[in-house]
């Protein structure tokens, strides 16, 4: 690549053109070749794990210096265990069925035509993400599996970690004889590259933005390219009047504390008035586990304020509130939620059905932890993220949702009357 140190539009145009060319090659790449690239990338990552940890140490040192929160640093860290998980995810994606070329539906019509609907790659995917470096590998792998070229723009905090992971992916592509530009990384921390990506409608078919409020606003203002938004996860846990106390305490604690920094972590606890005593027990459990609870109608760390509702804490804090009814709870979720994941804890199946019908978040859970909002847990091998929009992709996005389709129609010299 040429030297574009100061010229972001020229740099991005070159990356875009390379991606478009790679996408044309990838669209007809065999499943075996894509599989081989992913396995070779997994092997490269495991054999280079010390090098990757070294790059990550640079990022961690810079992050500590910049005063990143403990939760942010946790999201950033790559130890050998987490690298092992990334290697496993690469292998899991490799092992899944290749979706490209699948005939999704097939039928005959009265005119004599035979119609097939076949999966195709989308083309070029742009992924804009923040601190977690594993997204580099997951997004790269899923786009490759689905026959798409990808342009990865990670957060500046994970700059060196992402570069090291990306190098392993490229090694895999090279080993399998696939174009290296199938998985490209934007090699600059300059934020102008993000605005540029959002406008590259000639070269990018869809942008996947993963991040918080800052990115939401930028995307809403600037995007000319279609978007699969992967934005805030303001997940709610609603404790119904008919909740089982042991179930509710175990699930609510898990939903907040298992990993408070992931988008499926609970950010707000809603408690039916008739279950207020149980709600207090849950709040006590959370505080005992080190969670700060900002509460209304319950005794927490401090009273809740308006700013606490609809806030994505991503750390050991949670908002909590007593509501008068399931409908009040759902109204709160509709108003403050982000359409990501909400859970109801109840033994009353009619209440669960009401919650499932009345809310329109991507994922609704009954007696299960919101921490299950994850492509791996849904059986997709890995995920590029949890889509919070309603078009094309929604909820955990695996390889299948990164495809489009076309119709193949066969006649016998058939004309339309």
Compute the residue count for the chain. Answer: 417
Task: Between 70 and 109, name the residue whose CB sits nearer to a copy of itself.
Answer: 109
Task: Between 162 and 254, name the residue whose CB sits nearer to a copy of itself.
Answer: 254
Query: Minimum CB separation from a copy of itself for residue 221, in Å?
Result: 9
Task: Between 115 and 277, name the residue whose CB sits nearer to a copy of itself.
Answer: 115
SS3 25: helix
In Å, what is the CA distance from 250 to each residue of 258, 259, 281, 288, 309? 11, 14, 11, 13, 23
Q: Are 251 and 367 in contact (CB under 8 A)?
A: yes
Query: Residue 230's CB: how many other CB atoms inside 10 A?
Result: 27
Query: Minimum CB separation from a copy of itself for residue 157, in Å?
Result: 25
Q: In sequence order, what are the beta bridge partners of 115?
A: 107, 409
Which residues here bind a copy of itself, judged by CB under 8 A?
A: 27-28, 107, 109, 111, 113, 115, 120, 122-123, 201, 205-206, 220, 224, 226-227, 244, 246-247, 250-251, 253-254, 258, 352, 356-357, 360-369, 371-372, 377-379, 389-392, 394-395, 404-416
d(CA 174, CA 176): 5
The two tokens of residue 382 are: 């890995």
Element holding 52 (H helix, E strand): helix 49-65
Which of 367, 368, 272, 279 has its CA nearest to residue 329? 272
d(CA 369, CA 251): 5
Task: Between 299 and 414, name the residue whose CB sits nearer to a copy of itself.
Answer: 414
Query: Minimum CB separation from a copy of itself for residue 250, in Å?
Result: 6
d(CA 120, CA 400): 10
Query: Minimum CB separation from a copy of itself for residue 367, in Å?
Result: 5
Query: Minimum CB separation from a copy of itself for residue 3, in Å?
Result: 32
Task: Between 90 and 252, name the residue whose CB sits nearer to a copy of itself.
Answer: 252
Task: Between 68 and 208, name the residue whose CB sits nearer to a copy of itself.
Answer: 208
Query: Minimum CB separation from a copy of itself for residue 109, in Å?
Result: 5
Task: Between 170 and 227, name the residue whose CB sits nearer to a copy of itself.
Answer: 227
Q: Tokens 């490229």 — which residue?
A: 170
Q: In sequence order, what are the beta bridge partners of 16?
A: none
Query: Minimum CB separation from a copy of itself for residue 228, in Å?
Result: 8
Tell which phi-psi region holds residue 177, choosing left (phi > 0), alpha (psi between -120 and 50) or beta.
left
Task: Between 190 and 222, name the residue whose CB sits nearer to a copy of itself.
Answer: 222
Beta-carbon contacts of 308 under 8 Å, excluding residues fewer than 6 positions away, are 294, 319
Query: Minimum CB separation from a copy of itself for residue 408, in Å?
Result: 5
Query: Minimum CB separation from a copy of itself for residue 362, in Å?
Result: 6
Task: Between 28 and 47, name the residue whose CB sits nearer to a copy of itself.
Answer: 28
Which of 357, 359, 259 has its CA nearest to residue 315? 259
The two tokens of residue 11 are: 């740099």
Task: Between 70 and 408, name the residue whose CB sits nearer to a copy of itself.
Answer: 408
The two tokens of residue 87 are: 């290697």
In Å, what is the CA distance from 156 to each residue of 83, 88, 220, 387? 20, 25, 21, 22
Query: Minimum CB separation from a copy of itself for residue 414, in Å?
Result: 4
Task: Between 169 and 362, name the residue whose CB sits nearer to a copy of itself.
Answer: 362
Query: Minimum CB separation from a copy of itself for residue 189, in Å?
Result: 28
Burial class (CB in 10 A: 0-12, 13-18, 19+), 252: buried
């Amino acid at each position: 690549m040429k030297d574009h140190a100061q010229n972001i539009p020229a740099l991005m145009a070159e990356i875009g053109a390379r991606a478009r060319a790679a996408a044309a090659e990838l669209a007809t790449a065999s499943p075996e070749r894509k599989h081989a690239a992913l396995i070779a990338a997994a092997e490269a990552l495991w054999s280079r794990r010390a090098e990757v940890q070294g790059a990550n140490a640079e990022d961690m040192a810079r992050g500590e210096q910049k005063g990143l929160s403990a939760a942010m640093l946790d999201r950033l860290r790559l130890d050998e265990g987490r690298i092992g998980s990334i290697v496993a995810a690469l292998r899991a994606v490799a092992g899944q069925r290749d979706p490209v070329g699948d005939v999704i539906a097939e039928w005959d019509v009265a005119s004599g035509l035979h119609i097939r609907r076949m999966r195709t790659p989308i083309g070029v995917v742009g992924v804009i993400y923040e601190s977690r470096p594993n997204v580099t590998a997951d997004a790269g792998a899923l786009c490759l599996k689905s026959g798409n070229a990808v342009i990865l723009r990670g957060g500046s905090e994970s700059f060196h970690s992402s570069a090291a992971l990306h190098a392993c992916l490229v090694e895999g592509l090279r080993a399998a004889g696939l174009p290296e530009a199938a998985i490209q990384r934007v090699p600059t921390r300059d934020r102008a590259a993000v605005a540029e990506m959002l406008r590259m409608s000639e070269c990018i078919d869809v942008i996947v933005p993963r991040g918080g409020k800052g990115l939401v606003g930028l995307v809403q203002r600037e995007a000319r390219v279609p978007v699969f938004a992967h934005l805030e996860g303001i997940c709610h846990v609603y404790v119904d009047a008919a909740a089982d106390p042991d179930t509710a305490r175990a699930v609510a604690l898990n939903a907040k504390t298992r990993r408070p920094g992931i988008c499926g972590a609970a950010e707000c606890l809603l408690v039916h008035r008739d279950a207020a005593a149980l709600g207090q027990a849950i709040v006590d459990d959370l505080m005992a586990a080190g969670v700060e609870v900002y509460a209304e109608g319950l005794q927490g760390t401090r009273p809740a304020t308006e700013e606490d509702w609809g806030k994505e804490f991503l750390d050991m804090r949670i908002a909590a509130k007593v509501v008068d009814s399931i409908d009040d709870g759902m109204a709160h979720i509709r108003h403050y939620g982000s359409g990501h994941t909400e859970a109801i804890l109840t033994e009353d199946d009619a209440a669960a059905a009401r919650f499932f019908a009345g809310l329109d978040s991507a994922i609704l859970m009954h007696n299960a932890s919101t921490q299950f909002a994850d492509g791996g847990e849904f059986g997709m091998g890995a995920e590029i993220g949890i889509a919070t929009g309603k078009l094309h992709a929604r909820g955990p996005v695996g390889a299948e949702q990164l495809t489009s389709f076309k119709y193949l129609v066969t006649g016998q010299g058939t004309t339309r009357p």
